[in-house]
Amino acid sequence: MSSKQTSDTYIPLASDTELVRRFLDRVDPPQTLSAAEEQDLLNRLKQTLQEKNAKLVAHYYVDSVLQDLAEASGGFVGDSLEMARFGHDCDADILVVAGVRFMGESAKILSPDKKVLMPTLEATCSLDIACPIESFSAFCDEHADREVVVYANTSAAVKARSDWVVTSSIALDVVEHLAEQGKKILWAPDRHLGHYIQQTTGADMLLWDAACIVHEEFKARGLIDMKKVYPEAAVLAHPESPASVLEIADVVGSTTQIIKAAQSLPQMDIIVATDQGIFHKLQQLAPQKNFIIAPTAGNDATCRSCANCPWMAMNSLQRMLMSLEAENNEIEVDAQLAEKAMIPLQRMLNFAAELNVKVEGKA
Ligand code: SF4
């Protein structure tokens, strides 16, 4: 964790870059499989999922093979909250979550009676890492006059310390609602999303200073150059991207909002500033369009493979089969903690239902 921002002032606390790099050093690169090996794993996974009454719930950012397997086996592909909701509503005994750890935790919080497995428990998120509960809780205590609003990309403990959990699609509505009531807000952990909400709503927000290592690397200068090559292209950006990128974007939204915009916009060329995993769904739903990844900082960027979350990439067929067969890599959330974390999660769900807003999560 690094610093906090109020207005334009940062208060340095520590460096989160080193913390994130330490985690990244433990990430193994994905292995390449032959077509026959891949097919064998797919067959065994389909059979085991069926035998164990298990459902595979996958995020848009994981490998396309896993997304296809989820859909072909009666599971689900979506954003983080949709994944948790599907897990809650389905009658499976086991949920296999292909995503990152906080998604597994959300699934467990919403489905305490189901066994929740993950291909690896090492798959985490720079936002989660950079918001440890001890310092976050102390920060909340220092600013007890503020309503604590946290993004879904946080640990169960951080969620339990909050008043509201929000996803990227409902964050603006929730903050606007709180600001109308004259409430001041403490926001964590993503600084770019927080800044975007602050600018859009005008709310009084104190920002925790963390970032998504994937979205932070999108660059406005490269985007401007790319627009010269594709002058008619629409630019779709996730709000975890830097403000300079969001200023150029035609649409700023969550993964689900990006997918919808890509389908409905008239432009044939679409530049997308979010994880490349989403291209699989984009190409399925709008095959006639030309999707182009927004430029990043290149090989020197913090992310190991540009616009491709290294933790999402840890979800592989091999790891999934091993986890499912042995029923290991189980997500456990302390029951009392889960009960506390459920309160701000439920508050968001109730708020969304009142607004008749479809709540869409994001990693
Ligand atoms: S893409 Fe970014 S926000 Fe999503 S899991 Fe990876 S590091 Fe976290």
Across the beta sheet with 205-209, what order do the strands follow? 9-12, 3-6, 205-209, 185-188, 147-151, 164-166
Q: pLDDT (tens digit, 9 = 90+) per residue, 201-221?
A: 999 999 999 999 899 989 999
- The gap between the terminal CA atoms of the chain, to the nearest Å, is 18
Average pLDDT over residues 68-94: 91
Q: pLDDT (tens digit, 9 = 90+) per residue, 281-305?
A: 999 999 999 999 998 865 454 444 4
Q: Which tokens sit at 69? A: 């397997």
**At residue 323, does pLDDT exceed 90?**
yes
Residue 307 C-alpha to ligand 1 middle, in angstroms?
10
Rounded CA separation 244/230 (Å): 19
Q: Which tokens sit at 235? A: 């630019």
Average pLDDT over residues 77-84: 84
The predicted pLDDT at position 192 comes to 96
- Work out the percent of the chain whose per-residue pLDDT is above 70: 87
Pick from 38-52, 135-149, 281-295, 299-313: least confident = 299-313
Rounded CA separation 101/106 (Å): 9
Rounded CA separation 350/264 (Å): 29
Which residue out of 23, 97, 100, 167 has the highest number of ligand 1 atoms within 8 Å of its CB and is therefore the one to mutate?
Answer: 100
The predicted pLDDT at position 317 comes to 96
The predicted pLDDT at position 291 comes to 97
The predicted pLDDT at position 85 comes to 80
Residue of 93, 111, 104, 97 lying closest to 51 (CA atoms): 93
> How sure is the predictor about 316, in pLDDT bands with cuts at 50, 70 and 90?
very high
Q: Return the ∠ at Cα 57 (arms to 174 and 168), rounded to 5°.
A: 20
Q: pLDDT (tens digit, 9 = 90+) per residue, 233-244?
A: 999 999 999 999
**Rounded alpha-carbon distances, angstroms, from residue 261 to 221, 238, 258, 270, 285:** 23, 12, 5, 10, 11
What single string gives the DSSP state of each residue in 33-49? --HHHHHHHHHHHHHHH
Task: Give the mean pLDDT of the chain.
Answer: 89
Whether residue 131 has its Cβ less than 6 Å from ligand 1: no
- Look at 82 and 149; give whichever has higher pLDDT: 149
Q: Which tokens sit at 175? A: 């903050």
Whether residue 124 has its Cβ less than 6 Å from ligand 1: no
> How sure is the predictor about 356, in pLDDT bands with cuts at 50, 70 and 90?
low
**At residue 357, does pLDDT exceed 70?**
no
> How sure is the predictor about 28, in pLDDT bands with cuts at 50, 70 and 90?
low
> How sure is the predictor about 33, in pLDDT bands with cuts at 50, 70 and 90?
confident
| Count of positions (residues) in the chain | 363
Q: pLDDT (tens digit, 9 = 90+) per residue, 91-137?
A: 999 999 999 999 999 999 989 999 999 999 989 999 999 999 999 99
> How sure is the predictor about 346, in pLDDT bands with cuts at 50, 70 and 90?
confident
The predicted pLDDT at position 13 comes to 40
CB atoms within 10 A of CB 289: 17
Average pLDDT over residues 134-147: 96
The alpha-helical segments, DSSP class H, found in the chain are: 16-25, 35-51, 64-72, 80-89, 101-110, 126-129, 133-142, 156-160, 171-180, 191-201, 220-229, 243-248, 255-264, 278-285, 317-326, 335-355
Average pLDDT over residues 43-49: 98
Contacts of 293 (CB under 8 A, 6+ apart): 271, 272, 276, 279, 307
Whether residue 42 has its Cβ less than 6 Å from ligand 1: no
Residue 20 C-alpha to ligand 1 middle, in angstroms?
12
The predicted pLDDT at position 1 comes to 41
Q: Which tokens sit at 277? A: 């995993």
**Rounded alpha-carbon distances, angstroms, from residue 310 to 19, 23, 103, 132:** 15, 10, 16, 20
Nearest CA owner, ligand 1 atom 4: 363
Entry pTM:
0.89
